[in-house]
């Protein structure tokens, strides 16, 4: 495998800062991945020369100037069907490796409530034999583009709750299911595709990508990144220690006092609804009872994921406020960025203290 580690960074005059340090490693993997049926973008080809050299064209207008956002994850094209995938580098001995493969097993993949990112392939890294490469479905942020109708939001809440129920039924606590780790397969919304990094632009970054509405073109939402997740055996108490995670507002987080990992998931998902839905779309206030229950400061007072899903269905079936807006009413984000920031901070303050700011 050493042949793949001998690639040197491209250092032609006038092309300074072509690569970020982590990108050099992806360049070293290019031929190795190609042999296995996965092609990285042109900038990672060891034979690549920047397309802007000697042309007078600004680098910023060239697709091959677009750098990756995350050194451990990169998009690629699966050659046999030209579909886009994401490739993630993880430790072979990590719990993420075991949990991701388990959740993508053939039997579990057939379950319609499985909202865990599909893993299509796994093989050893050519640079470090202690690492593996996970080949997964390419996904984009769940709220990009923004929701346009009430029923689009309701579909997101339903799917994310169903997915959390599925995880917990499998004995898996995600432990980091905050905003960035809930994504969607956006292919139905972008029939002409989009760039994998600059997701609001076309693949050649020449113009803005057009997109359709979820209401007419439904999407599926997925949980990603099981790096902090725990798999409990049957009958094993779901208690853990640790304070890592994107959402630091959960009151029970501790390195010394064990807490219920399933109840943490319920809280964190409730906080997603609070910060990314209720605080952004004022029309969704009818979801407040569900969110308040999920974000109770005392974990034992929160509903389980299954009970939260039942609460959601009850709201959809019986809420007069939801019925009055017709379910399918168009919505738009609050136009004031300042107000959105204040609302998000207020939500976090309330989660920490139990005090609602007015």
Please state whether beta strands 230-231 and 119-124 pair in parallel, antiparallel, or not at all (unpaired). unpaired
Is 186 a residue whose pLDDT tops 70?
A: yes
Sign of the Cα torsion 260, 261, 267, 270 reads negative
> What is the dotted CATH code of the domain comprising 20-137?
3.30.200
CA distances from residue 153 to 164, 214, 342 in whole angstroms, order as listed: 17, 10, 22
Calpha distance 203→8 (Å, rounded): 27
List, for residues 214-251, the tens digit of each pLDDT value: 999 999 999 999 999 999 999 999 999 999 999 999 99
User: Which pTM does this prediction carry?
Assistant: 0.89
The Cβ-side half-sphere exposure at 99, using a 13 Å CA radius, reads 26
CA distances from residue 256 to 69, 223, 243, 337 in whole angstroms, order as listed: 34, 28, 10, 38
> What is the dotted CATH code of the domain comprising 140-353?
1.10.510.10
What are the DSSP calls for 81-148, one per residue? TTEEEEEEEEETTSHHHHHHHHHTSHHHHT-TT--BPPEEEEEE-SS-TTEEEEEEE--EETTSSPP-
Q: Which of 326, 277, 335, 334 is CA-nearest to residue 151?
A: 326
Provide the mean pLDDT of the chain. 90
Query: In this predicted model, which residue has the larger pLDDT, 338 or 209?
Result: 209
Least confident interval from 11-20, 48-57, 131-140, 312-321: 11-20
In this prediction, residue 5 carries a pLDDT of 38
pLDDT band at 343 (very low <50, low <70, confident <90, very high): very low
The Cβ-side half-sphere exposure at 81, using a 13 Å CA radius, reads 4
Residues of 292-313 as b/e, b for ≥16 C-beta within 10 angstroms?
A: ebbbbeebeebbbbeebbebbe
The domain limits of the chain are 20-137, 140-353
pLDDT band at 255 (very low <50, low <70, confident <90, very high): very high
Residue pointed to by tokens 């299509």: 120
What count of other Cβ atoms lies within 10 Å of the Cβ of residue 324?
A: 10
Average pLDDT (268-275) is 98
């Amino acid at each position: 495998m050493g042949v793949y580690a001998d690639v040197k960074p491209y250092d032609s005059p006038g092309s300074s800062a072509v690569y970020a340090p982590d990108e050099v490693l992806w360049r070293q993997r290019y031929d190795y991945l190609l042999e296995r049926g996965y092609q990285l973008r042109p900038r990672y080809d060891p034979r690549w020369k920047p397309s802007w050299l000697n042309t007078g064209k600004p680098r910023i207008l060239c697709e091959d100037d677009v750098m990756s956002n995350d050194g451990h994850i990169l998009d690629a094209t699966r050659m046999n069907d030209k579909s886009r995938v994401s490739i993630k580098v993880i430790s072979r001995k990590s719990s993420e490796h075991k949990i991701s493969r388990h959740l993508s097993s053939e039997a579990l993949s057939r379950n319609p409530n499985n909202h865990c990112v599909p893993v299509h392939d796994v093989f050893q890294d050519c640079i470090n034999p202690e690492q593996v490469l996970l080949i997964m479905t390419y996904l984009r942020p769940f709220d990009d583009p923004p929701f346009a109708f009430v029923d689009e939001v309701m579909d997101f809440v339903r799917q994310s709750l169903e997915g959390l129920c599925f995880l917990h039924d499998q004995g898996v606590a995600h432990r980091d299911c905050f905003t960035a780790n809930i994504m969607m397969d956006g292919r139905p919304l972008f029939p002409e595709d989009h760039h994998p990094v600059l997701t609001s632009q076309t693949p050649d970054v020449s113009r803005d990508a057009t997109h359709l509405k979820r209401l007419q073109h439904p999407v599926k939402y997925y949980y990603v990144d099981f790096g902090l997740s725990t798999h409990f055996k049957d009958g094993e108490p779901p208690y853990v220690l640790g304070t890592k995670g994107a959402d630091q507002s959960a009151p029970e987080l501790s390195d010394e006092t064990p807490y219920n990992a399933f109840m943490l998931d319920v809280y964190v998902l409730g906080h997603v609804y609070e910060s990314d839905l209720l605080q952004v779309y004022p029309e969704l206030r009818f979801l407040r009872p569900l969110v308040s229950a999920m974000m109770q400061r005392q974990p034992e007072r929160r509903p389980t994921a299954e009970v939260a899903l039942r609460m959601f269905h009850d709201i959809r079936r019986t809420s007069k406020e939801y019925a009055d807006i017709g379910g399918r009413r168009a919505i738009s984000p609050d136009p004031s960025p300042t107000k959105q920031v204040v609302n998000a901070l207020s939500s976090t303050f309330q989660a920490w203290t139990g005090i609602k700011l007015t």
